[in-house]
Structure 1
Amino acid sequence: MVTRKVKDLPRRLQLAGVALAFSVCANAPAAEDELLAGAYVQDVTGSFDSLIINGGFTEKRRGKMNPGDLNARCFVLRSGKTTIAIAVVDSCMIPRTVCDRAKTLASKATGIPPENILICATHTHSAPSTMDYCLGTMADPRYTLFLPPKIAEGIKQAHARLEPARVGWSQVSAPDCTHCRRWITRPDKMQSDPFGKQTVRAMMHPGYQSPNYVGPSGPVDDELSVLSIQTLKGEPLGV
């Protein structure tokens, strides 16, 4: 199994929206309140010459990518007897079968229970497909077999780097960063569905100030959550 050298890895990892998961460790009893954290960036690009790519609504392929183009950013946190792991993977969508395989391998390597492991995707539209019928594409069979061991390796490496740490988080309103992309169509401008019937009452990304839409389909959650993990010396492990 090929992994990146430690000296080549950046210490800064990016992760947002996981404060609730980390609170499992942060809220442990006072007698067991020492927090340990480890982080690792695992290359999940592979050296394939051609792969099916997700997210184009029609099946397409791309050629060989460069090492480091796709990563799994992995965290492991421990407080007392509780250990959790989180892997944020550069992928469009990851099916349960692939996640479960990665969790099983990671659990065998680290002892972390599979139910304490969270795996999520960044939803990039430039990564190989691991999920059938995902936005118009089928899974690439070679990459689907390749990815789970790589995710597990990243969690294993993060687990091996556990050290005393501190964590903090906050939420701010960021209305300029989030907008509703799904707009309601005027009744007289409804569009046709794949069966040729005019049933489409909403559309993503309407034209700027298009007269064919009456407004956004709902309110926007503009909360931006920021979480920071540092060593006890204040060195960043992840933001």
Structure 2
Amino acid sequence: MASEITYAEVKFKNESTGSIPNSVFPAALEENTTPHKIFFQKYSQLSEKKRITKEPIHTALECLKKNRTMQDVPPLTTERVWSCCPKNWKSFGSSCYFVSTEQKSWQESEKNCSGMGAHLLVINSQEEQEFITKDLRKNFAYYMGLSDPEGQRHWQWVDQTPYNKNVTFWHPGEPSDTVERCVIINFSRKTWGWNDARCPQPQHSICKMKEIFLRM
């Protein structure tokens, strides 16, 4: 997997109680609540064909030290590993999430996510659905990365994840209209669920990207 070297402002948060041992980081990083400009290696989740720029997209990261098995981290990461998300993004599992406050069409929303090295939200489990919806505003709807480009009810995720009808969270009676080819998450009938919508309609959106792994 390709990697790129960048500089960034990074804030560390120790997952366990107490201070970070001196043996973990050099002296310059002992103050774990203060951002530091450090050298790190960011493993890109995009293929070379999709790479648009070599310039760093995110210049501020928030990192947590996690207990991970070797298969959870990218190749060659044999040192202590920190999992990072861009500032103002939320972490869940091995991914980072960003809720946009702007209202755009589905296509514009996906372009906005792509510009941040991410893609529109892809949901793979009940736990992820619950994590996403717990802090959303009930009077808004949010685009996710599921669409039906041909209007034939052949749903496709933006990251090419196979569509699994057994892991879906449609509101009762949805999807309901072949003209509505994009999917939103909204609050209806006292619960959060999915609804098909017209793609040009401006909505809020949620972006998702893989965590950035940092090794010392």
Pick the structure with more strand per residue. Answer: 2
Question: TM-score normalised to the size of structure 1?
Answer: 0.27
